[in-house]
Structure 1
Amino acid sequence: MRHIVWDWNGTLFHDIDAVVGATNAVFEPYGLGSYDVEGFRAVYTRPIWTTYERMLGRPLEDGEWARLDQGFHDHYHRLMLECGLAADALSTLRSWEREGGTQSLLSMWWHERLVAKVAEYGIDRHFTRVDGLLHTEPGGHKAECMVAHLKALDVDPGDVLVIGDSVDDAHAAQHVGARAVLYTGGMTGRGDLEAFGVPVVDTLANAIDYA
């Protein structure tokens, strides 16, 4: 493996508390009890509207997804200000760079916010490309975004390792013919990660051991 594609939310950016807090806030009017981190991980899946349907125990109504998604992001963008990079994110990015590998960032978070946040932490120089979700795109699965990302990079998927915190990251890697390692610091519980059958790690430093 010579190139790593990193995920952002829940992987390089340790924002699980903001995600859970924003989810609890947006569902408070529905009378649902508050989730803790493990409770949220037990219901989380992608696409995120499927998670919301699990929480509500019913399909979303017309227009409900858009309202919930907007409300979630309003709360998330406030709560994320208290979050930071994963403990070993910076040292791991530097370590892979020292080994002569290249790396990029692909996220399902809004592109303009992603680019600004990465620059704010001063880590943008580590990435040959940073791609987030454009407002013209639906926030569903990551696979087609991964196709476009690797095409723009002009890298062989066989030389790529995808590191993320959700099964969707592993699906995206599988879709393009890349390998994946899944990290337990994000929104998906270890059991669900292990069920996919790829390596699962508790630190980002351990993840690049597989590269």
Structure 2
Amino acid sequence: MTHIVWDWNGTLFHDIDAVVGATNEVFRPYGVGPFDPDGFRAVYTRPIWVAYERMLGRSLRDGEWELLDEGFHDHYHRLMLACGLADGALACLQEWEDAGRTQSLLSMWTHERLVPKIGEMGIDRHFSRVDGLRAAAGGPKAEHMAAHVLALGVDPEKVVVIGDSVDDAHAAQHVGARAILYTGGMSSRAELGGVGVPVVDSLANALDLI
């Protein structure tokens, strides 16, 4: 493996507290919650509207998803200001770079927010390419991964994707790359373990596996 494609939210960026906090805020009027990180991971799935239906115990009504999603992001963008890089993230980026290998960042967070955020954190220099979401609806990550790897011009067989969700593993498999999943994000270890790829509890463990 000579190239890492990193995920952002829940992987390099440790934002689980902001995600759970924002979720609790939007569900407070429903009398649902509050969730702690483990409780949230127990009900979380993608697409996120399915997780919301699990939390409510019913189907979403017309227009309800849009209101919940807008409310979530309003709270998330406030709460994420208190979040930082995951433990060991900076050391891992530097170690991989020092070994003469390359790395990039592919996120389903909006591109116009992602780019200044990684610049603010001083890690943009580590990436040969950064891609966030440029369209309103993201959908599965697989097609975004295909475009990202094509733009990089790297052999997918030399790529490992490090992310925190089943979607990251599926995106890697879609392009013929390998994946390592990290338990610091929104998915439970049990869900991650069902994909059939290595699961680690730290980013340093991921580099050790590579």
Q: TM-score, normalised by structure 2?
A: 0.97
8 Å contact from structure 1 (residues 48, 140) kept in 2: no
Please list the CA deviations of residues 48-92 of structure 1 after superposition, one character each: whole Å capped at 9, or x if unmatched: 122112212222222222211110010001111111001100000
Please list the CA deviations of residues 76-115 of structure 1 after superposition, one character each: whole Å capped at 9, or x if unmatched: 0111111100110000000000111100001111111111
Corresponding residue for residue 209 of structure 1: 208
Please list the CA deviations of residues 123-146 of structure 1 after superposition, one character each: whole Å capped at 9, or x if unmatched: 000001111111x34132111111
Range with bigger deviation, 57-66 or 111-120: 57-66
Residues 1:95 and 2:58 aligned together: no
**RMSD of aligned residue pairs (Cα, Å):** 1.0
In structure 2, list runs of 5 or more residues that go unmatched.
none
8 Å contact from structure 1 (residues 46, 140) kept in 2: no
Q: How far is the alpha carbon of 1:155 from its aligned partner?
A: 1.2
- Equivalent-residue separation in structure 2 for 1:68 and 1:15 (angstroms): 19
8 Å contact from structure 1 (residues 162, 169) kept in 2: yes
Please list the CA deviations of residues 160-201 of structure 1 after superposition, one character each: whole Å capped at 9, or x if unmatched: 100001111111111111100001111111111111111111
- Equivalent-residue separation in structure 1 for 2:95 and 2:49 (angstroms): 36
- Equivalent-residue separation in structure 1 for 2:28 and 2:132 (angstroms): 29
8 Å contact from structure 1 (residues 5, 103) kept in 2: yes
The number of aligned residues is 210
Corresponding residue for residue 39 of structure 2: 39
Correspondence 1:17-96 to 2 at 5 A: 17-96=17-96
Corresponding residue for residue 165 of structure 1: 164
Q: TM-score, normalised by structure 1?
A: 0.96
- Equivalent-residue separation in structure 1 for 2:22 and 2:172 (angstroms): 28
- Equivalent-residue separation in structure 1 for 2:30 and 2:117 (angstroms): 32
- Equivalent-residue separation in structure 2 for 1:133 and 1:60 (angstroms): 25
Correspondence 1:114-193 to 2 at 5 A: 114-134=114-134, 136-193=135-192
8 Å contact from structure 1 (residues 13, 85) kept in 2: yes
Percent identity of the aligned residues? 73
Range with bigger deviation, 187-196 or 50-59: 50-59
Range with bigger deviation, 76-85 or 48-57: 48-57
Partner SS, residue 209 of structure 2: coil
**Runs of 4+ in structure 1 over 3 Å off:** none
